[in-house]
Amino acid sequence: MSSVKIGVLISGGGTNLQSLIDSINDGNINGEIVLVISDNKKAYGLKRAEKNGIDNMYINRLEYDSSDDYNEVIIEKMKEKKVELVVLAGYLKILNEKFVKKYQNKIINIHPSLIPSFCGKGYYGTKVHKACLDYGVKVTGATAHFVDKGTDTGPIILQRVVNIDNEDTVKSLKEKVLKVEHKILPEAVRLYCEGKIELKKQNNRFVTKIRRG
């Protein structure tokens, strides 16, 4: 089976990107990251890509008249690299409908909570962890899921639970959840690249079935 060409979108430090790079370098993922794009010029994830010889670029949203124009440019860059799977690794922009349709069931995102809790519009980054602490839930976690036209509404691939302790702060909870993200995102990508994720319709929505072995 030929390796899958992967494009990664980032906005920040790129620790999830690094987890993918490490997993690929260790031979755990039958894929190759061929392009990293950031909407943030100062994103350290661009340096991570550069250090690993991966083509990377910053695309400034302000240089385009609309979000649709901005997304169109990213689509074209992905097409040039023949990207087969798009991974959102801490990407804070919303993909437009055309982008999602172009890569339908070929976009994987990592979210820092157990979807459907603490997700959707306005729930990103540390805002998610603060909401968990404010609500007083005893567990949270991370979710790897496919992206659809909604916000955090696509089929769930993998989830893992993180316990919340009485002394946890937004910072400590973020660090605990990140450790889990770094495990399940590469695992979700591995399963995709091995063709082990099946999508089935159930109760008027799509769900995933993971083939083991």
Sequence-distant contacts of 170-178: CB under 8 A, at least 24 apart: 170/126, 170/129, 170/130, 170/133, 173/129, 173/132, 173/133, 173/140, 174/112, 174/126, 174/129, 177/112, 177/113, 177/129, 177/140, 177/141, 177/142, 178/15, 178/112
Provide φ and ψ at 23, rounded to 5°: -65, -40
Q: Please answer whether residues 56 and 48 qualify as being in contact, where contact means their C-beta atoms are separated by less than 8 angstroms.
A: no
The residue annotated as part of the active site, out of 111, 129, 145, 182, is: 111
CA dihedral 121, 147, 69, 44 (to 10 degrees): 80
Per-residue buried b or exposed e for 175-201, using 16+ beta carbons within 10 Å of the residue's own CB: ebbbebbbbbbbbbbbbbbeeebeeee
Q: Is 73 helix (H, G, I), strand (E, B) or coil?
A: helix
Whether residue 111 lies in the annotated active site? yes
Catalytic residue positions, numbered: 111
